[in-house]
Amino acid sequence: MAGQAVRAEAAGGQGLLVLRGVTKRFGGLVAVQGVSFAVAEGETVGLIGPNGAGKTTLFNVITGAVAPEGGEIRLGGERIDGLRPHEIAQRGVRRTYQIVRPFPNLSLLDNVLIGSLFGGTGRAGEAARERAREMLAFVGLTDKAAMLARDLNLAEKKKLELARALASGPQLLLLDEVLAGLNPVEIDRSLALLAEIKGRLGTTIVMVEHVMRAVLRVSDRVVVLHQGEKIAEGRPEVVAGDPRVIEAYLGERVG
């Protein structure tokens, strides 16, 4: 444990996103306990762990939706813990939601337009509209631009959220289970899309994911949470073979 903390500390020196000893409790329940890790610019980090490990809570803490009780969070060297969510978003952090939350009664174009109008790199007028169309094309929803978001299926809603999050040209993208609930074909398409976000846009990504195949394929590095604590961190193929990780997911071998 101590050795790990030291390594995290060392990694914490540089990096776009740096978490140090982040803790969040809900009453007596400790959702996230002293979690430290860093994400370098351009890197894709997979955040994995069994249900209730604290992954989504960690996203909520990073985006300011809930305030951490302890620790600090830095974005590009500047402390962002304690800021209001829109202030953190203003600094280029965007997220998608595990349970999708597009703006249901607005057109797809307006959904993405809102994404491109606001934020640090916010555009105005026709430039914002153009950017919104580009992003819809990027996720392959151009022909549905005038539809209402509530009329989409789940896979499309997830793509729409992705387009909305990307529209402002974020520095850091937090993806909360973008693949959950998709069928194998849709997963392949979404993975191709993620590869493009990484390759073409160069966006730094932290992704919570249960689809291991996807995590192994897309992530440069993996952080494993278990009961709110970080239990492993490293290259995906190494972490996947780590006995502690296997134990956390599958339980202890009997006999």
Partner 1 sequence: MPSRLRPTPLLLALAFLAFLAVPAFQDESMTSFCFRLLELVAMTYSLNLITGYLGYVDFGHIVFYGVGAYTTALLLSGGVALHPALLILPGGAAALLFGLLAGYPALRLRGAYFAIATFSINEAMKAVVLNVDWLGGSEGIPLARYIRLELTTAYYVLLGIAAAVAAFSYTAVRQKFGLGMLAIREDEDVAEALAIDTTRYKLLTYALSGAVAGLAGGIVGLAHVYVSTEYFDVGKSIEMFVIMMLGGAGTALGPLLGAFLYFLIKDFLILRSPHLHLVIFGLIIVFIVLFLPAGLVGYLRERSGRLRALLE
Whether residue 53 contacts residue 227, with contact meaning beta carbons closer than 8 Å, is answered with: yes
Stretch that binds partner 1, among 34-42, 99-107, 182-190, 236-244 (CB under 8 A): 99-107
Q: With binding defined as CB under 8 A, does residue 82 bind partner 1?
A: no
Whether residue 64 contacts residue 20, with contact meaning beta carbons closer than 8 Å, is answered with: no
Query: In angstroms, rounded to a whole number, what is the distance separating the alpha carbons of residues 211 and 182?
Result: 10
Stretch that binds partner 1, among 46-54, 101-109, 201-209, 225-233 (CB under 8 A): 101-109
Give first-to-last CA distance, the chain, whole Å: 26
Q: Which of 28, 77, 105, 184 binds partner 1 (CB under 8 A)?
A: 105
Query: In angstroms, rounded to a whole number, what is the distance separating the alpha carbons of residues 184 and 190?
Result: 10
Question: Cβ of residue 135: shortest distance to partner 1, in angstroms?
Answer: 13
Q: With binding defined as CB under 8 A, does residue 171 bind partner 1?
A: no
Question: Cβ of residue 144: shortest distance to partner 1, in angstroms?
Answer: 10
Whether residue 18 contacts residue 204, with contact meaning beta carbons closer than 8 Å, is answered with: no
Q: Which tokens belong to 146?
A: 């005038």
Q: With binding defined as CB under 8 A, does residue 66 bind partner 1?
A: no
Q: With binding defined as CB under 8 A, does residue 157 bind partner 1?
A: no
Give the DSSP letter of residue 197: I
Q: Which of 11, 30, 40, 147 binds partner 1 (CB under 8 A)?
A: 147
- Is 124 or 250 the residue whose CB approaches partner 1 more closely? 124
Q: With binding defined as CB under 8 A, does residue 68 bind partner 1?
A: no
Across 227-250, b (16+ Cβ under 10 Å) vs e yields: ebbbbbbeebeebbebeebeebbe
By CB under 8 A, name the binding residues for partner 1.
Answer: 63, 65, 84-86, 89-90, 94-95, 97, 101, 103-107, 110, 113-115, 117-120, 122, 124, 146-147, 164, 168
